[in-house]
Structure formats: structure tokens, C-alpha cells
Amino acid sequence: MKKTLLIPVLLSVGLCAGSAAAQLTDMEKLGRHLYQDKNLSFNSSQSCATCHHRSAGFADPTNRRDPYHVMVSLGDDGISKGGRNAPTAAYCNFSPILHRNEDGEWTGGMFWDGRASGWSDNLADPLAEQAQGPPLNPVEMNMPDVETIVLRVEAANYAPLFIKQFGADAFADPDLAFDNIARAVAVYEGSSELSAFTSRFDNGMLTEQEASGLALFRANCTGCHSMEPVEGVVGPLFTNFTYVNIGVPVNEALLEDSGSVYEVPDLGLGGFLGDSAENGKFKVPTLRNVARTAPYSHNGYFPTLTSIVSFHNSRDVADWPEPEVAENLSTAVGNLGLSDQDISDIVAFLKTLSD
Ligand code: HEC
Ligand code: HEC
């Protein structure tokens, strides 16, 4: 197969992406203000973008810079750290309300463990429910209560935009205002600025090695990182939004970090549902922009793409540490029989998924 790098096509795509970003709706613009507002954290030290920044594929850039040592995000107090690796906030809006699919597998929701389920009456949207988590989370944005968050938005220079969207008495009822803050953030997260579909893969320009990686990926990975077209969505999302225990080991380095709230075993979906049949299962992540979101997996055990792909390949046949949770282990990965060359082809393919 010939290498097919079509420069003119690349140029025109660049232009489209630029103009798409410029054409945000008013609600998307409001959401972007909120997403980037550091005043939504107690010490005004961090916004959503601090831990979900474009430069890191909308995951945490401090982790990306040093994935061997910095696996979780630092909170607003400058001391506390989370117990899970920040996933990308892009392409999340396609995750449905948490439900059992036709095979009885839990599907959808937000967070590694699905706890932003979309089951609330007021929001009924996993992404909007998720957006209400970080501001009140003591190891993240650390705000004391809903009232304080709403007061900060009311004092912001973009408050008129909020009133334009939600009416003159938009700040009268703090709970309602907090719901609308979350809705606006979720609308922004669903915009073309985060879910751009402008990767080299989307433009169909793969080198010979990347194309070989794609073929291997289709054969070994799409059972979970799905490439099935989804109705109304431009391209594949590389996740079927189910939950699987692939047997990620305990992250000893994180355990030794006294600032982190990481406790083992992290039961994932099973912990949220209180159902031991789901213990150790974590949401199948999208692989879009994955080359920019190191480290990898829920506890950041894997610093590189090569290491996590190798783990999927040889969990059961090479010298890996014990899984963090040994129950409910998936046998769809662990002994895939890929060669070192196959793994580097797959990694080359994964690198084409960056917008
Ligand atoms: C201090 C860092 C930090 C801040 C600030 C932060 N997040 Fe996160 N975010 C995380 C971590 C860590 C997780 C994973 C937590 C988990 O799964 O339990 C996460 C998970 C998410 C997810 C779920 C993605 C998925 O695939 O399930 C979304 C979406 C998200 N954050 C958006 C936001 C928004 C919106 C804000 C601002 C309101 C925000 N985050 C603020 C660290 C942060
Ligand atoms: C049986 C389902 C399944 C299959 C098959 C599968 N994966 Fe995964 N993959 C997962 C789950 C679940 C996670 C997250 C696990 C965790 O954090 O505990 C994951 C994580 C990843 C990550 C890390 C993403 C991130 O943001 O942290 C990469 C990269 C990845 N898989 C690539 C692959 C490749 C390449 C293949 C094929 C060789 C593959 N996967 C096959 C379920 C699967």
C-alpha cells in the first residue's frame, strides 16, 4: 500500500476546524466561560480546563508532562490529590444514560465507575450530572456549597450571558441555577470544540504502518473500543460505553503518595452499584486523542501507550503483577498473541486519532 499524505486536504480541514470553533452557539459560549472559570474553585486556582485541557486531549496536562510520576490531579487546596486518573472530557456527550444493554451489560454513564448515571430527575443527563461533581469535590475544586458556586457565577463578567439564556431571575433559586450551570457546561462539552472529529484517521490518510495497525485494531480491540457507526455521530467513538475488568494492577506509586485518596481495591462500577458481580469493572474509555492523555487506565498505572497495549496483549502470559481486583476478569484480553511489531503498528494507529 502507498503512503497517502494529501497535503491540500489537510489544509482545507484545518480551515474548517477553525471556523467550526468560531461558530459556537450562545449556550456553548456560556458553557465555555464556565468551563474555563477558575472562580468555580474555592481558592480560584483551577477550572475544569485545568484538569481537562485541550493541550492534553482534554485530560490533565500535568499528568501528560510526567506520566511516570504524576498520575492523578492536584486539587484546589494544593495538597489533596484524587485517586483516579483524569480521563478526557471530549467525546463524552455520546455516553447514554446508564442502563443495561440487550446483553445485560451496564452501558453509559460518566466517570470511570459510572456514578454520574443520568438517573437524576432534575438533569437526566450523565454529562450535566458529572459537571456538578468537581466544584463540590473536596479533592478537586473544593467549594463549600451550591450557594457559593452560584454567587461566583452571578459576580462573573459573563453573568449577562447566563441571564440571557435562563431569564432575569436566573440566580433566584440556587439549586435551579446550579442545574443550569451544569447544563451549559455539558452543552459546551458536546460542541465541536471538544468533539471535533478532525483527526488524521477521520480524514483517511494513514501510512502503511498505521493502516496495518488499524487492521490489527479491528481484529483485536473493537469488541470494546467500538468502531461501529453510531446514528447521528460523524465517526466511530472507540468505546461501546460498557464496563470491563481488564485486570489493571494496583498502582503502588500512587498508593505510597500520601496526598492521594487512592485506596485499594478500587471496585469501580461494583463499588457504585453495590453489586459484587460488577467489581473491578471500569468504563471502556474512548481512544480519541489518546496519544495526548498519558498516563493510562483508571489508576494511571501505565505511563505509555506501548505499555498499556502490551498489557492487553500479554496479561495472562507474561510477568505482570496481580490485578487490583481479581474477580470478574475479562478473558477477551490477556493473551492476544500480538508480536512486538504488531504492537508498534497499533500504537502508530492510535496516534492518528488526535484532533
Ligand atoms: C482537579 C482536577 C479536576 C477538575 C478541576 C475537574 N475534573 Fe473532571 N475529572 C477529573 C478526574 C480525576 C476524573 C475521573 C474521576 C472518576 O472517574 O472518579 C474526572 C472525570 C470527568 C469526566 C468523565 C469522563 C468520562 O469519560 O467518564 C468529565 C466529563 C469531566 N471530568 C469534566 C469536568 C468538568 C466539566 C469539570 C469542571 C466543572 C471538571 N471535570 C473538573 C479531574 C478533574
Ligand atoms: C474486553 C474489552 C477490551 C478490549 C478487547 C480492549 N480494551 Fe482497551 N481498555 C478496556 C478497558 C475497560 C480499559 C480501562 C481499564 C481500566 O482503567 O481499568 C481500557 C483501556 C485502554 C487504553 C487506555 C485509555 C486511557 O485513556 O486510559 C488503551 C490505549 C487501550 N485500552 C487500547 C486497547 C487496544 C489497542 C486494544 C486491542 C489490542 C484494546 N484496548 C482492547 C477494555 C478493552
Protein residue closest via CA to atom 35 of ligand 1: 131
Cα distance between residue 100 and residue 301, in whole Å = 29
Decide: residue 11, CB within 10 A, 0-12 exposed, 13-18 middle, 19+ buried: exposed
Determine the atom of ligand 1 nearest the C-alpha atom of 134: 41
CB atoms within 10 A of CB 316: 13
The preferred substitution site among 72, 220, 221 for testing ligand 2, maximizing ligand atoms within 8 Å of CB, is 221
Determine the atom of ligand 1 nearest the C-alpha atom of 87: 24
CB 112 within 8 A of CB 88: no
Q: Is 80 exceeded by the pLDDT of residue 17?
A: no
Q: Which ligand is nearest to the CA of 74?
A: 1
Q: Is 50 exceeded by the pLDDT of residue 203?
A: yes
Torsion angles phi and psi, residue 318, rounded to 5: -125, 180
pLDDT band at residue 23 using 50, 70 and 90 as cut-offs: confident
How far, in Å, is the centroid of ligand 2 from the Cα of 284?
Answer: 6
Nearest to 119 by CA among 92, 143, 100, 139: 100
Residues 286-295 have pLDDT tens digits of 999 999 999 9
Average pLDDT, the chain: 93
Residues 233-264 have pLDDT tens digits of 999 999 999 999 999 999 999 999 888 989 99
pLDDT at 22 (0 to 100): 58
Lowest mean pLDDT among 15-29, 132-146, 198-212: 15-29
pLDDT band at residue 3 using 50, 70 and 90 as cut-offs: very low
Q: Is 60 exceeded by the pLDDT of residue 52?
A: yes
Cα distance between residue 109 and residue 116, in whole Å = 6
The preferred substitution site among 140, 150, 191, 288 for testing ligand 1, maximizing ligand atoms within 8 Å of CB, is 140
Cα distance between residue 9 and residue 11, in whole Å = 5
Q: Is 70 exceeded by the pLDDT of residue 67?
A: yes
